[in-house]
Amino acid sequence: MAQSARQLEPDVPPRSDEDAAEQSPAGVARSYDFRTGSELSREALSQLRVRSDRLVTALGRIMNAYLDSPVRFEAESVGGVSLEGLMGAAPAQCALGLVALTGALPPMLWVLDQELVGPVVGRMLGGPPEPIERPATVLEAALLRRFIQELVDVWATSWERLARREPTAGEVLTEATQLRGKMRDGELVMLTLSAEIAGVGGRMRVALPVAAAQRLLGDEEPVEERPPLDVERLQQHGERIVVPVSVELHRMQIALSEVTKLAAGDVIALGKPIGDPMVVCVRGKPKFLAQTGTTDGRLAAKVIGTTANGGG
């Protein structure tokens, strides 16, 4: 009898965590799925989504004039993906532009579906948006590099932290397998954008390594709030630190033709007054002014002040 009653129960699908949260009584602990599909937090992914919304707004306004053709962009999704997953999902033919970032950050990747390559190249040359169903040529790759640089420049205008990293479009690859050795293995955060250029639709994807995304989104310590340099502590432990120091007599430029004629015994007129001080460089940067002399029969430099930019 119990078996018959069980067979009459309606087939109800299992509830999701969000359904359970909505239907749980007040005051009762409810389960919650904290997974985001990425190493980034929900808040960080939300910030990236806001950035992508701002990006498509700016691209729609600027690319229309840049390509002299009607364009439309729309942000579709933001989520995590592995490098292997990206390589496996990438079309057989596409344009993958590596974008370098300063500050020792790993490069980002800008991917254009093959459907968009022809319209972009055609409009940049002032021609029709004819499709290109083959890998890009050297000339076409150079045009795509310029186009990707324009894209990241547009994004940087609305994202100060990205602008400070000086994004620079570099090599444009035509096959996903060429990414091996160009990007580190690990998770990427991918922004997927739909695009329509001169009536041709396709997708662009921006892949940010998690390390780069965290630095671009994370709070950075304001310069004015950084703790002051502990000079006393530095003096106590400074003997353990070794830095290169050089004393420059003078710098000048002479013609290459004169350099090739130099021989033993020739005199190079420096044009520097005898009483002018030398420059002491620390790690290659000018820091102090000094007078040269001797100590115990060896050349020495006596510090007499700091250079204009050497006081910090």
Sequence ranges of the domains in the chain: 42-217, 244-250+275-312
- The superfamily in CATH containing domain 42-217 is CheC-like (3.40.1550.10)
- Which residues share a beta bridge with 40? none
Query: What pLDDT score was predicted for residue 76?
Result: 93
Residue type, 23: Q
Phi/psi zone of residue 72: left (φ > 0), alpha (ψ -120 to 50 degrees), beta? beta
Round the CA-based radius of gyration of the chain to a whole number and report it.
Answer: 30
Q: Please, how many CA atoms are within 13 Å of residue 177, restricted to the half-sphere of its CB?
A: 2
Query: What pLDDT score was predicted for residue 82?
Result: 87
Contact 37, 48 (CB under 8 A): no
| Distance, CA of 290 to CA of 299 (rounded, Å) | 12
Specify the pTM: 0.59
Q: Which two tokens stand for residue 112?
A: 């254009």
pLDDT truncated to tens, each residue of the chain (312 aa)? 444 443 433 443 433 334 444 444 555 544 433 344 467 788 888 889 999 999 999 998 899 899 999 999 999 999 888 888 888 877 778 899 999 999 889 999 999 999 999 999 999 999 999 999 998 999 999 999 999 999 999 999 989 999 999 999 999 998 888 888 888 878 889 999 999 999 999 999 999 998 899 889 874 434 444 456 566 666 665 555 667 888 888 777 788 778 788 888 888 888 788 778 888 888 778 888 888 888 888 888 888 888 876 655
* Residue 196 CB burial class (10 angstroms; 0-12, 13-18, ≥19): middle
Residue type, 263: A
CB atoms within 10 A of CB 40: 22
Residue 171, SS3 per DSSP:
strand
H helix runs in the chain, sequence order:
2-8, 17-23, 42-66, 83-89, 114-124, 138-157, 160-164, 210-217, 231-237, 256-259
